Amino acid sequence: MGIQGTFDEWRGDLLEDLETTAGGIFRKVIWLTARDEHVCLLCLNRDGKSYSVEEVKKILGGEFCKPKDPDDRCRCTFIVDESSLIETDQMEE
């Protein structure tokens, strides 16, 4: 494969990003696309919206990204949803 990698690699990258971002400290993350003309419609629909970690995993389990250009790849990232901070007394571990 080229530099864009495989669909499974995008999924792996996003799952890793999800874990790093939420880190067991936040219940939700906000989906962010690259916000340019290459962003696919599927991702565009999720841009700026808040999803629980479980919801993101569910989304990533399906066909979450369809780049218009075969040489493109999913470039989405996550940022924390500040309002979803998990109370420390509810934290596991």
By CB under 5 A, name the binding residues for Zn ion. Answer: 43, 65, 74, 76
Phi, psi of 53 (to 5 degrees): -55, -40
With respect to Zn ion, which residue has the nearer C-beta, 43 or 60?
A: 43
Rounded CA separation 33/36 (Å):
8
Residue closer to Zn ion, measured from CB, 2 or 87: 2
Read off the DSSP letter of residue 26.
B
Least distance to Zn ion from the beta carbon of 50, Å? 17
Task: Specify the length of the chain in residues.
Answer: 93
Residue 1 or 91 having the CB closest to Zn ion: 1
In the complex, the smallest distance separating the C-beta of residue 40 from Zn ion, rounded to whole angstroms, is: 5
Instruction: Name the amino acid, one letter, at 15.
Output: L
